[in-house]
Structure 1
Amino acid sequence: MRTWAGATRQAFAKGPVTVSSDSVQWSSLLAREAEYTGIDEITTMRVPDLRIGLLRNHVYKLESRSGSMWTTRSYPPGSGYIEPPGSSRPFRWNSRDQPRIEVRTLYLPQQVLSSAAIELQRAGSHRLDRTLEIPFLDDPHLANLSAAVISAVRAGAPEFYAQAAAQWIAAHLLIGPSKSVEWRQSLVRDPISDYRLIRVLEYINAHLYDRLDLRVLSNEAGISTFHFAALFKRAVGTTPHRHVLHLRMEAAKSMLRETDKSTLDIALTCGFGSASHFASSFRRHFSQTPSEYRSLTSNRTPS
């Protein structure tokens, strides 16, 4: 049976935990949910295991420090970060604007990653040769699984479930990131420094459900639509339309999971003219209908 290092247990227990896999005594995977209120900064502890942190329910604007540089990113629901074993990173935010930060964290043993890498190599599958470290992670498959893991903890699932979930996560990460990560990788490799784009990204997050066509966004940047479209795609890795659509889809997914709003209400809230238009867009984005997604995540965590 896997014995967790004391440092991981300490990090796992620290903070205002609302759900913890300690309640079911898992040893193959640690899972927790925590809600931070009334503070402006946390620093993740150095642990010998891979840490996956996913933000819940809202768009959060967080600053993280690497060396002496602070980088600001907006994390929509379900997005987050990956920290390799032995790493630590401080995060800070404005608690007046964001009084509550909700985080779902998974700790994956290094030995699970190593075993998965060996098996994938035997099977001839491509795998990542670098240490996994992703300051901005936007992977709907991993976000969905993390929600299922928390539901399993609440239901008292046995250790066998933890083993299967840990192996799936390891294989998924080693085989490579999903396309939703790939088109945001420029945000990871080269943090955006152009103040015009920073202003536009902040504007999008603050007005996500308003009209956000190319003209509106280019006006916010103060440059021509042609120049803005080229600048945005080069920096962010996708078009403004796809970026806005992705954020709205993630917000819609959160509403389906966390609320009892009708599909039509969610569609109209997220800027779609009809339930059918929303359903077709959702299916293209997540390979399932809104109803199918809601059914699969019916044991949702209360807001």
Structure 2
Amino acid sequence: MAIRQEQRAVAGRNKPQSYCDSWAGHGPASLLSSSANRGWSGLSAELRNHGKGTIPWMTSRSDIEICVDVCGNESLVTRRAAGIEDRSFARRGTIWLSPPGLHRFVDHAEDMVGILHMCLPLSQLSPSNLGSNIDGSAIGALRYERAFEDSLLAEIAYAIAAELHTETSAGNLLVETLASSLTARLVQKTANASSNQPFPLLTAKGLDRRRLFRVLDYIEANLEGDLTIDHMASIACLSKFHFARAFGQAVGQSPHRYVSARRLQRAKALLLQGDRSLADIALALSFSSQANFTRAFRQATGQSPGQYRRELSSCHRGKSLTVCGRPFRI
């Protein structure tokens, strides 16, 4: 009773997102969405419903698994592993962490809707990824955890769940950045409690104009290609974690938001040309399907790509511009 009263008191924070409603109809123990065909770098993820009952579960030997309740199920979850029995009521933002190779049993007292499973490769813990001096003890510190809450990890999970649900043009960049942030936060949170040295705060210096323009030119030249944080960071001669912060300081936007905006402008230009199909434009701008491109374009502009193309064509038909003193029809 006390738990439910507390949940009502923080109802605003635990209120399910709109995408939770669409997952609820899929039934128990079902895969709702997967990153398998998205080309993500840094982590993989699945959204699942889980039915009532007990299931055995084995974590891959090369991945750390982080599960997050992104909807708020208010269901009792019991996990048994490593000599620990963990009983907790799942609510929105509840997190379960399992190290590589862990065999465990998980019991759900009720059906659970919208559980995000994230698999983080151990390679994410390398110093080259985080840009800081992290030794092998960081991996050992990521041990089996009882259920816990962490607002930063939860927000990262919500962003990944939203990207799984609705693909965006720069989703790969977003996930790559979030994977680095997720890794840094996990190591910070689970580092050896006996150490007096906190996980180093990663400082970032704004990009100088020469390196910034080099990165911006690279982005512009590859809007219809494969843009990754790794490639952009290497052009700026920074680790990818430092790069994301430095780029944000210099431009005022994260890399994925900047690329999303530029790809939207490129999409408008390609639609205006009128000689490429919507499917071809979607593929060129790194969408996995025309439907996802249409959804993202409509969300950004209020129109479908087809409507935007028709309106521009009708507006421009019969109009003319003056170029170098001569009429030029558009």
Length-normalised TM-score, structure 2: 0.43
Q: Which has the higher contact order (CA 8 A, sep 6+)?
A: 1
Larger Cα-atom Rg:
2
